[in-house]
């Protein structure tokens, strides 16, 4: 038979991770002092640590931790408890009830006093901020994806980083801002310009720099001493690129246009009326360089 004993809990110490290492254990140290009446208990005892969700009544959480044949010297004991990864995950306060009996006794455990509240240190298993990270694992649900417009995070592409692979879209690719691309790359238009008959840019877009005002960094003029001949220097290498050139239809006459690569950065354009014998005539035209 065991005398009535009292318990003084001295310390709870969790095994918490450092900043640079991931936590690999949910165990924590539990230390206390057991008195036999008014004197410290000595000898070997079986201890049972039962976890509850309330200071009285309530229900148990996780599996009991039994520590058998624990040596007590001057009443002091220490052991390691582990209730698994889910016991403290919710952040709700937990309470430990301690039972004691002589080591190896077949008798039931004697419960010692009231339950002990588990304080903040063991809750390092689930920190304040990692609780939000736990919710983020369910971000495929619309309820948790409101910040992403109700869409799953996998529906978005990261921005402002160097993508070394392909970026593929099975649906439409819509870009609200300007689309730019290095001059040496293929795919997007590198230059678009709408020129009037006098050799001035009406509108334009530079697909390398993103400019869309003035002449967009291009040099455009009607060739000196010529009519319907235009020099366009794009300022970057366009030699042997694909060119799309279209003359604008006149009020009552069909018009045409052709071009020639002159330098690595320049093309010359000739415009003409299709039903006139003269070689060239002024006309508005559009040119796109790919």
Strand partners, 289: 191, 243
Strand, helix or coil at 8? strand
Comparing 269 with 172, the larger pLDDT belongs to 269
pLDDT of residue 186: 81
- On average, the pLDDT of the chain sits at 83
pLDDT of residue 19: 37
- Residue 43 pLDDT exceeds 80: yes
Query: Which pLDDT band holds residue 286 (cuts at 50, 70, 90)?
Result: very high
Q: Give the pair of three-digit tokens for residue 174.
A: 């819509």
pLDDT of residue 57: 94
Most confident of 45-49, 144-148, 172-176: 45-49
Comparing 23 with 71, the larger pLDDT belongs to 71
Whether the Cβ atoms of residue 50 and residue 34 lie closer than 8 Å to each other: no
pLDDT of residue 23: 57
Q: Which of 3, 71, 70, 69 is nearest to 35 (CA)?
A: 3
Q: Give the pair of three-digit tokens for residue 35.
A: 């008195």
Question: Could you report the per-residue pLDDT of 54-94, keeping only the tens digit for each?
Answer: 999 999 999 999 999 999 999 999 999 999 988 987 778 99
Residues of the chain within CATH 2.60.40.10 domain(s) are 5-129
- Residue 128 pLDDT exceeds 60: no
Query: How many whole angstroms from its chain centre is CA 197?
Result: 52
pLDDT of residue 231: 98
- According to DSSP, residue 152 is labeled -
pLDDT of residue 146: 63
Q: What residue has token string 């508005």?
A: 284
- Residue 134 pLDDT exceeds 70: no
Query: Which pLDDT band holds residue 14 (cuts at 50, 70, 90)?
Result: very low
- How large a percentage of the chain has pLDDT more than 90? 51
* Residue 122 backbone phi and psi in degrees, to 5: -60, -20
- Residue 273 pLDDT exceeds 70: yes
Segment (H or E) for 39: strand 39-40
Whether the Cβ atoms of residue 286 and residue 248 lie closer than 8 Å to each other: yes
Whether the Cβ atoms of residue 95 and residue 52 lie closer than 8 Å to each other: yes
- CATH class given for the domain over 5-129: mainly beta
pLDDT of residue 13: 40
Beta strand 39-40 with 43-52: parallel, antiparallel or unpaired? unpaired
d(CA 51, CA 278): 100
| Cβ count within 10 A of residue 142 | 12
pLDDT of residue 52: 96
- Angle at 166 (CA atoms; ends 163, 170), nearest 5 degrees: 125
Question: Could you report the per-residue pLDDT of 152-183, keeping only the tens digit for each?
Answer: 666 766 667 777 778 787 888 788 888 888 88
pLDDT of residue 246: 95
Pick from 61-65, 146-150, 276-280: least confident = 146-150
pLDDT of residue 104: 94
pLDDT of residue 187: 84
- Residue 149 pLDDT exceeds 70: no
């Amino acid at each position: 038979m065991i005398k009535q004993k009292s318990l003084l809990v001295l310390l709870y110490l969790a095994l918490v991770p450092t900043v640079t290492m991931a936590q690999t254990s949910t165990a924590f140290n539990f230390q206390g002092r057991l008195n036999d009446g008014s004197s410290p208990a000595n000898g070997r005892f079986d201890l049972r640590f039962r976890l509850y969700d309330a200071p009285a009544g309530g229900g148990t959480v996780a599996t009991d931790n039994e520590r058998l044949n624990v040596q007590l010297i001057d009443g002091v004991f220490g052991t390691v408890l582990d209730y698994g990864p889910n016991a403290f995950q919710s952040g709700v306060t937990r309470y430990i009830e301690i039972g004691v009996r002589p080591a190896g006794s077949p008798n039931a455990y004697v419960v010692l006093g009231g339950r002990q509240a588990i304080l903040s240190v063991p809750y390092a298993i689930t920190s304040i901020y990692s609780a939000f990270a736990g919710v983020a694992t369910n971000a495929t649900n619309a309820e948790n994806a409101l910040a992403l417009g109700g869409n799953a995070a996998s529906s978005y592409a990261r921005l402002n980083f160097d993508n070394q692979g392909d970026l593929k879209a099975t649906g439409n690719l819509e870009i609200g801002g300007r689309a730019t691309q290095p001059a040496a790359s293929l795919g997007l238009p590198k230059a678009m310009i709408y020129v009037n008959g006098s050799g001035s840019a009406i509108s334009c877009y530079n697909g390398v720099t993103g400019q869309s005002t003035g002449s967009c960094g291009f040099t455009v003029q009607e060739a000196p001493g010529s009519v319907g001949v235009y020099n366009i220097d794009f300022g970057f290498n366009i030699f042997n690129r694909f060119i799309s050139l279209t003359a604008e239809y006149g009020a009552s006459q069909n018009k045409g246009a052709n071009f020639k690569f002159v330098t690595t950065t320049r093309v010359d354009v000739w415009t003409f009326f299709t039903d006139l014998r003269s070689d060239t005539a002024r006309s508005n035209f559009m040119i796109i360089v790919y």
